[in-house]
Amino acid sequence: MPRFFGGSRGSVEKEPDQFEILDQDTNVSDINLAERYARDTQSDERSKPRHRNVHSYYQNWIDSFKRAEPVGERRRRRAQQDISTTNINNMNKGDESDFYMGNGGEPSTNIDTAYDMNSNEVDPNNKKNENIYALNDDLEDGTTSIAASEDMPKKGGMKARHVIMMTLATGIGTGLLVANAKSLHFSGPAGLVVGYFMVSFVTYFVVQAAGEMAIAYPTLPGGFNTYQSLFISKPFGFATVWIFALNWLTILPLELITSSITVKYWTTSINPDIFVLIFYLFLLFVHFIGLRLYAEAEFFFNSCKILMITGFIIFSIVVNCGGAGHDGYIGGKYWHDPGPFASDNGAARFKEVCYVLINAYFSYGGTELYVLSVNEQENPRKAVPVAAKTSVYRVAIIYLLTMILIGFNVPYNSPDLMGNANSKDASPYVLAAQIHGVKIVPHFINAVILLSVISVANSALFAGPRLLATLAEQGFAPKFLTYVDRAGRPLLALCVCSLFGVIAFAATSKKEDEVFTWLAAIAGLSELFAWSGILLSHIRFRWAMKYHGKSMDEVGYKAITGIWGSYYGLFFNLLVLIAQFWVALSAPGSGGQVTAISFFESYLAFVIWVFFYLCYMIYNKDWTILIPLKDIDVDYQRRIYDADFLRQEKEESYEKYKQSNIGKKIYAWLWTL
């Protein structure tokens, strides 16, 4: 369906070398003249040479750093340029089913499947609004919308395959592949699996809740990072988004340090800072080129992770059954000797599971990033539900299954696991092959682990700048960070985030272990606060919709777990926060001794969050704990979907599913149903 524009009184100002938008009184000869003009213009465009020289590409790249034109201005400028031949043919036929450009100059009321509600710029009920109405590019999925006022341009640089792979493998790095060595050592294989299994439920609830709100508010600046300020309170939003931003700012140097540690598996004679510099410059190159290169790089990295995990699962089964290595059949040997838990009494075992929980949150971190990229997607309403379903496979296969296999193939009392997550042999994935005498496989696994930690650093440079830009848009950070260039990059925020990578050059310092520990201390609990913010925002969103009499049928995607999943996830997060305080006072392996350093290593993020929360309250004299439901504007930037259209689309999809062959049915069941 073509795109149309109309002014407030049915006219658009003429510009040189362009024709007027035609009204109902235009005669056929004028229409033919306009049609001929459009056809000639298209012919001229096709006749232009398509090749570009190096200078042209370089100049375009330089120009991409200029400030982006606001969406509203761009649409006004293009209003008179987007009249296609198809539009004119429709006018010839008198077809008003697609549009109406009468004297009122307003879109036809026949097109009302969805609207973006923005109280500051466009009000679909206000007939005197002077803004140009525009039909969005989402028409292929049955939605239309009134133009939103967001200034950050939607680049559409991510396709569905990027989003699926992002949901499946983004975030798989230090937490899962390296730091689990300490979790396995202190908790045993049973404690490791139980801890990850408990957090996996929360992960799924978060993905569902975030997906529902992302589809309801696809153009909301900042995505899920704005939900807290919109549905909970400004102090809560300020503290939560800042702690989440610090999380991704510290993950960049953390992963770069981990990459230098990973390289030590092959050599210790080369200065680690050389590898940090190489990886650091590579990441800067990827992100300063543009979003498309980031998406393709992340797709490549994530594909390597998935292939490695798949190969590791097969390899682990073969080793356990005696098909490789020198130990013969292993089976459940390590679950008996040394045993399933690292301790004998119940209280100690419970503490060990609690110790695993925070590392599990750290490992699962990044699952929510697909929501942060909703404005970069070509078709969010179809990509987000598929990504939400993909998270199930991520949890079940990549995390839980590999944790079980590691427990079967690596004893928790292995000397290489003795609480030293920074040793060159610390990754339990590498140890699963190495301790059984397999020679070549550990090198392949370590190489993919290296790619994985670089991938997470890559994600940090994607998420961090956007989080800082979100903070600036909400008035929580300096205004200059809102600068967005023509390529859709939050350019100045990207520069600030890049500076944090310099911390990674501590890799040659004798304090490397301490730097690693403190960076990880911020990252662990930060994810818990971010997820709690999403879950509480979802609960408040549902409450506000009900209070204002809005139907959930207007929402393009409803969380499968409903509001009760968010209740459970939020309650569990609160219990974990309390349990982590207990662990911080007396961590496993500490011998019962408590020091200020050991406490803050485990609970630092909570202290920072409380500091941000109180500072905002005191400085702004804003004592709001929860925004009253009557004051929540649920229609701000919300896209309202037509329930009949969604129902019809679902029925058509089901009919198509029933008529498809068995292969397509399996594919649909796995990914789209």
Rounded (5°) CA angle 7-12-17: 155
pLDDT for res 532: 93
**Running DSSP on this structure, what letter comes out for residue 114?**
E
Report the mean per-residue pLDDT for the chain: 75
Stretch 514-538: mean pLDDT, rounded?
83
What is the distance between the alpha carbons of residues 449 and 175, in angstroms, rounded to a whole number?
11
Q: Which residue has the higher pLDDT, 164 or 321?
A: 321
Domains of the chain: 5-141 (no CATH), 160-641 (1.20.1740.10)
* pLDDT, position 58: 62
Per-residue model confidence as pLDDT tens digits over 186-200:
899 999 999 999 999
Q: Is residue 671 scored above 80 in pLDDT? A: no
Q: What is the pLDDT of residues 282-320, one digit of tens each?
A: 999 988 887 778 888 888 888 888 888 889 999 999 999
Note the pLDDT of residue 418: 58
- What's the Rg (C-alpha) of the chain? 27
* Burial call 3-42: b when 16+ CB within 10 Å, e when fewer: bbbbbeeeebeeeeeeeebbeeeeeeeeeeebbebbeeee
Residue 51: pLDDT above 80?
Answer: no
Provide the token pair at 607.
């202290």
Which range among 91-95, 171-175, 258-262 has the greatest average pLDDT? 258-262
Identify which has the larger pLDDT, 453 or 87.
453
In a 3-state reduction of DSSP, which class is residue 64? Answer: coil
Distance of CA 640 to the CA centre of its chain: 23
> pLDDT class for 372, splitting at 50, 70, 90?
low
**Mean pLDDT on 411-428:** 67
Residues 6+ apart with CB under 8 A from 405: 312, 313, 316, 317, 320, 432
> What percent of the chain lies above the pLDDT cut of 90?
18
- The distance in angstroms from the start CA to the end CA of the chain is 26
Q: Is 168 within 8 Å of 302 (Cβ atoms)?
A: yes
Question: What is the reported pLDDT for 60?
Answer: 67
What average pLDDT does this structure show over 573-598? 78
- Range ranked top by mean pLDDT from 21-30, 92-101, 418-427: 418-427
* Mean pLDDT, residues 267-275 taken together: 85
Q: What is the pLDDT of residue 161?
A: 73
In this predicted structure, which of 515-524, 526-535, 603-612 has the lowest mean pLDDT?
515-524
Beta bridge partners of 639: 116
pLDDT-based confidence at residue 583 (cuts at 50, 70, 90): confident
Model pLDDT, residue 71: 52
How do residues 606-623 score in pLDDT, each as one tens digit?
989 999 999 999 999 999
The pLDDT tens digits of the residues spanning 99-137 come to: 333 333 333 333 334 444 443 333 334 333 323 222 333
What's the pTM? Answer: 0.75
42, amino acid identity? Q
The answer to whether 107 and 1 have CB atoms below 8 angstroms apart is no
pLDDT for 584 equals 82
Least confident of 15-29, 165-179, 314-328, 506-520: 15-29
Q: What's the helix, strand, coil split of the chain in %, to 5?
A: 65, 5, 35
**Percent with pLDDT over 70 in the chain:** 70
Least confident among 127-131, 157-161, 530-534, 606-610: 127-131
- CA atoms of 338 and 414, how far apart (whole Å): 10
Q: Distance between CA 98 and CA 104 in Å, rounded?
A: 16
Max mean pLDDT among 81-90, 126-135, 213-222 falls in: 213-222
HEC string of 227-249? HHHHHCCHHHHHHHHHHHHHHHH
Position 222 confidence tier, pLDDT thresholds 50, 70, 90: low
Mean pLDDT, residues 360-384 taken together: 72
Question: For position 111, what pLDDT does the model report?
Answer: 32
Q: Which of 210-214, 375-379, 584-588 has the highest mean pLDDT?
A: 210-214
Is the pLDDT at 30 greater than 50? The verdict is no
pLDDT at site 7: 38
The pLDDT of residue 26 is 43
pLDDT at 146: 29
User: Where is pLDDT greater, at 388 or 564?
Assistant: 564
Residue-level pLDDT at 337: 86
- Residue 490 above 80 pLDDT? yes
User: Tens digit of pLDDT for each residue in 253-264?
Assistant: 888 888 888 888
